[in-house]
Chains A and B, each alone.
Chain A
Amino acid sequence: MWLRAASVALSVLGCPAIVGNTAWAQPAAAVLSGDDAARLLLGQRIYREGIGASGAPLKAVGAAQTALSGKDAACSICHRRSGYGTAEGKFVIRPIIGPALLAEQTVPVHTPRVKARVGVSQRPAYTEPLLARAVRAGLDASGKPLDPVMPRYALNDEEMRALSAYLFSLSAQPSPGVDEEEMHFATVIQPGVAPERRRAMIDVMQAFVRDKGANVRSDDRRREAGNMRMYRSYRKWVLHEWVLSGPSETWDAQLEAYYRKQPVFALVGGIGSANWAPIHAFCERLEVPSVFAQADVPVVSGTNNYNFYLSRGVALEAEVLARYLRDQPGSGKIVQVFRRDDAGSTAAATLRKALATPAAPTLEDRTLDGQADDAFWSTVVAGNPAAVVLWLGAADLKQAARPLARASGIPLYLSFELLDGKLPDAALTAGGNARWVYPSDLPPRREARLLRSKVWFHNKGIAITDEAVQINALFAMTVVSDVVGHIMDSFSRDYFVERLEHVVGQTPMPSLYPQVSLGPGQRFAAKGSTIVQLPDTDKQLPKALSPWIVP
């Protein structure tokens, strides 16, 4: 229990135990007593989950005497996790972050539009008793009734103290990773990533950061001169490379060491084909947003507040393929070949699960260990299977090309992720049997859509060496830049996450995926894929075999 309390206190207070060395860390946090930590934990549980001191769901009364309880009554439903509130169409839910509650509201509002929204009411700062009255009786700090939409909560004194402590501290300090001059980001490189692939990603990201710095090089002086929020928000971006090594059990400690050295506001990009779970868990634990890692094996289930992915990676490919294979006429077994690494195992397991329906074709597994010889490939195509699924990378497919070419007529399904988005060896496609689970759009539409990124690369003098990686890296940076522009000087990671949910669908810079969008709670930007026939000569274009499949 105390462990949980400690970890929550960490998250509430911006990980003080780890931070310590930034000017913006809360010194008070270091001396936080056990009681205070427990109180914040309870406050956080009330706020985020609607769970009271007894562990039972909270009871509240909404408008028109409606009974609410538990999660439905949680403050975070309307005011969001950040406390910055929300707006959609005509709806405005006010921010209830600590600084807002603790500020006297005397600012005269002149604009009619703003006046209509915040109301003309002026109020003194909230104190603990005034906050208790607001929560229990629905009166604001000046005694005027709150909007009827705000429920009344039957909190006992202990709960009320806890909620007050939590609210007064909510988003009260900027999240770690930002100081008065700089905003820090990191990108994580898993072991086993080819140096040129890593370079391709990093070069794009660093060019973006350089560009951004160049564009605001005088704005720090403007920040000193004015008091507008726009000026206050200027920060120089710094991008760190967090390169992981060794077995995945050690990554968490490595990430923490990097973080201790320099906390970052968010992770951006990142690359690797091993399971992303340790990095995912680190981000959830420290409440660090992670934006669009190029991960073959993202975490596709369980709690996810902070990890945004481009897609579900090989799991999405397997589900799309299963959907396609189930709809194919005729029957006969399907053979899937994979290595027992994270990506191969995940893809194979997902396909097996997705094909575990009575009407689906039978699926046989062939695992590849070490070097495959001709005898191995003979067993794969023995008995003339209806299809062979190859969850393999470029090197393995090169080996397979010659023996598989002899078994003509058997469709071969390949993974886009495991081929790193690059066409396989020509010998494999020469027979006209190779098909691809393909997450992008086909030429010429694709070229037209990606032109914006390519022009940017050209202007920055970046050669296109790994198109998929570079396009997606630029997309991730652009999205982060858009979001940072929206949050201005409200440097809350939760607010960042909430804005990101809105921004992604609107970002003009393309990703590799023809359709990307998010929404509240959505964490995978691209949701579908298609099956294409790869041409047997490079003079032809791939041909779509399926419509866009969203499994």
Chain B
Amino acid sequence: MKKMRVRSAHGVLAAACIAMGALLAPAVGHAHDGKAHAQWEGTGDYQRTVRPYAVPDVVLTDADARPVRLRELLAGSDPVMMNFVFTTCGTICPVMVKVFADVPAALGAQAANLRLISISIDPDNDTPAQLKTYAKAIGAGERWKFLTGRVQDIKTVQMAFDSYRGDKMNHEPLTLMRQAPGKPWIRIDGFATPDELVREYRKVVLQ
């Protein structure tokens, strides 16, 4: 059993290299050609739980250096998917980011009102300008917001979503999704492929 999990983690790492392609050389990225998600090997190696997280009242900063009150951002009626990344991470963040990049294509028309949020867990290094460059390199669209902020606030957010692991280099793959304010958060631990995320997302939206 244990071996299975390790193998599948490697399976997803396959995507890490693809992600790096998208990040480091946008010309060879395939994020939006519509069939990119078909490149992922499904693993089923993730855990889904339902959690009643409360959104902390913090003011973060977006890639345009504008203040963003997290509660207000999440108060809209749109469904949301959220993850935690940092821009110099070379192992798991490229995978998570690449998955987010492929989700809209995998969702098709249903992607129209989905909001993607990536929160940096390396706020000291990930300045708004750094996030902007990163978002541009992976071809993030308008509905995908990258946030940074004060170190303490970023920690508060991670604590609120039970994703704080002491140091950014210890972080684990995690996706959070929620249909609307007042609904519970669905927590996906591990690497889910875009198709798997979409499957979970549809359950969330239809629940």
Question: A62-114: which have CB < 8 Å to B?
Answer: 62-73, 77-78, 86, 88-91, 112
Interface string of A135-152 (1 = CB under 8 A from B): 000000000000111010
Interfacial chain A residues near B168, Cβ < 8 Å? 505, 517, 519
Interfacial chain A residues near B18, Cβ < 8 Å? 62-63, 66, 68
Closest to B128 in A: A550
Task: Say yes or no for B136: interface residue by CB 8 A criterion.
Answer: no
Q: Is the CB of B125 within 8 A of A520?
A: no
Given contacts A77-B17, A149-B16, A519-B86, contact A66 B39 (CB under 8 A): yes
Q: Is the CB of B17 within 8 A of A148?
A: no
Interfacial chain A residues near B150, Cβ < 8 Å? 547-548
Given contacts A66-B39, A515-B151, contact A505 B14 (CB under 8 A): no
- Determine the distance from Cα of A64 to Cα of B17 in the docked complex, in whole angstroms: 11
Q: Is the CB of B17 within 8 A of A151?
A: yes
- Determine the distance from Cα of A70 to Cα of B17 in the docked complex, in whole angstroms: 12
- Determine the distance from Cα of A505 to Cα of B5 in the docked complex, in whole angstroms: 29
Closest to B21 in A: A72
Q: Is the CB of B125 within 8 A of A519?
A: yes
Q: Is the CB of B6 within 8 A of A528?
A: no
Q: Is the CB of A527 within 8 A of B17?
A: no
**Distance of B13 from chain A, by nearest CB (Å):** 4
Q: Is the CB of A527 within 8 A of B125?
A: yes
Task: Say yes or no for B9: interface residue by CB 8 A criterion.
Answer: yes
Interfacial chain A residues near B170, Cβ < 8 Å? 88-89
Q: Is the CB of B91 within 8 A of A86?
A: yes
Q: Is the CB of B90 within 8 A of A522?
A: no
Q: Is the CB of A519 within 8 A of B88?
A: yes
Question: A331-362: which have CB < 8 Å to B?
Answer: none
**Distance of A357 from chain B, by nearest CB (Å):** 13
Interface string of B1-38 (1 = CB under 8 A from A): 01101110111011111101100110010000000000
- Determine the distance from Cα of A506 to Cα of B169 in the docked complex, in whole angstroms: 10
Q: Is the CB of A68 within 8 A of B17?
A: yes
Q: Is the CB of B15 within 8 A of A505?
A: no
Task: Say yes or no for B89: interface residue by CB 8 A criterion.
Answer: yes
**Distance of B20 from chain A, by nearest CB (Å):** 5
Given contacts A64-B39, A64-B41, A528-B124, contact A88 B169 (CB under 8 A): yes
Q: Is the CB of B28 within 8 A of A72?
A: yes
Q: Is the CB of B171 within 8 A of A89?
A: yes
Interfacial chain A residues near B80, Cβ < 8 Å? none
**Distance of B188 from chain A, by nearest CB (Å):** 15
Q: Is the CB of B6 within 8 A of A117?
A: yes
Interface residue tally of chain B, by bracket? 35 or more
Interfacial chain B residues near A520, Cβ < 8 Å? 88-90
Task: Say yes or no for A502: interface residue by CB 8 A criterion.
Answer: yes
**Distance of A57 from chain B, by nearest CB (Å):** 9
Task: Say yes or no for B184: interface residue by CB 8 A criterion.
Answer: no
Closest to B90 in A: A520
Interface string of A504-519 (1 = CB under 8 A from B): 0110000000010101
- Determine the distance from Cα of A522 to Cα of B169 in the docked complex, in whole angstroms: 13
**Distance of A215 from chain B, by nearest CB (Å):** 27
Interfacial chain A residues near B124, Cβ < 8 Å? 515, 517, 527-528, 550
Task: Say yes or no for B40: interface residue by CB 8 A criterion.
Answer: yes
Task: Say yes or no for A116: interface residue by CB 8 A criterion.
Answer: yes
- Determine the distance from Cα of A177 to Cα of B146 in the docked complex, in whole angstroms: 44
Closest to B165 in A: A89
Task: Say yes or no for A124: interface residue by CB 8 A criterion.
Answer: no
Q: Is the CB of A550 within 8 A of B14?
A: no
Closest to B3 in A: A116
- Determine the distance from Cα of A517 to Cα of B124 in the docked complex, in whole angstroms: 8
Interfacial chain B residues near A502, Cβ < 8 Å? 169
Partner of B17, one of A72, A547, A550: A72
**Distance of A200 from chain B, by nearest CB (Å):** 28
- Determine the distance from Cα of A69 to Cα of B21 in the docked complex, in whole angstroms: 8
Interface string of A42-74 (1 = CB under 8 A from B): 000000000000000000001111111111110
Task: Say yes or no for B142: interface residue by CB 8 A criterion.
Answer: no
Task: Say yes or no for A551: interface residue by CB 8 A criterion.
Answer: yes
- Determine the distance from Cα of A550 to Cα of B15 in the docked complex, in whole angstroms: 32
Given contacts A72-B25, A112-B2, A506-B167, contact A519 B89 (CB under 8 A): yes
Given contacts A62-B17, A72-B20, A90-B9, contact A550 B92 (CB under 8 A): no
Given contacts A71-B25, A551-B127, contact A148 B14 (CB under 8 A): yes
Interfacial chain B residues near A527, Cβ < 8 Å? 124-125
Q: Is the CB of B24 within 8 A of A71?
A: yes
Given contacts A63-B41, A112-B2, A528-B124, contact A505 B17 (CB under 8 A): no
- Determine the distance from Cα of A296 to Cα of B15 in the docked complex, in whole angstroms: 42
Interfacial chain B residues near A147, Cβ < 8 Å? 7, 10
Task: Say yes or no for A521: interface residue by CB 8 A criterion.
Answer: yes
Closest to B30 in A: A66
Q: Is the CB of A90 within 8 A of B17?
A: no
Interface string of B169-191 (1 = CB under 8 A from A): 11111000000000000000000
> 27 A-B Cβ contacts within 8 A?
A62-B18, A63-B14, A63-B17, A63-B41, A64-B14, A64-B39, A65-B39, A67-B28, A68-B28, A69-B21, A71-B24, A77-B20, A78-B16, A78-B17, A86-B90, A90-B9, A112-B2, A148-B11, A148-B41, A502-B169, A519-B89, A519-B122, A519-B125, A519-B169, A520-B88, A548-B151, A550-B124
Give residues in A with beta carbon < 8 Å to B. Answer: 62-73, 77-78, 86, 88-91, 112, 116-117, 147-149, 151, 502, 505-506, 515, 517, 519-522, 527-528, 547-548, 550-551
The 3 closest A-B pairs by CB, nearest first: A63-B14, A88-B91, A519-B88
Name 18 extra pairs, CB < 8 A, besides A89-B172, A91-B92: A64-B39, A68-B18, A72-B24, A72-B28, A86-B91, A88-B91, A88-B92, A88-B170, A90-B5, A90-B9, A90-B172, A91-B10, A148-B10, A149-B10, A515-B151, A519-B89, A528-B124, A548-B151
Give residues in B with beta carbon < 8 Å to A. Answer: 2-3, 5-7, 9-11, 13-18, 20-21, 24-25, 28, 39-41, 86, 88-92, 122-125, 127, 150-151, 167-173
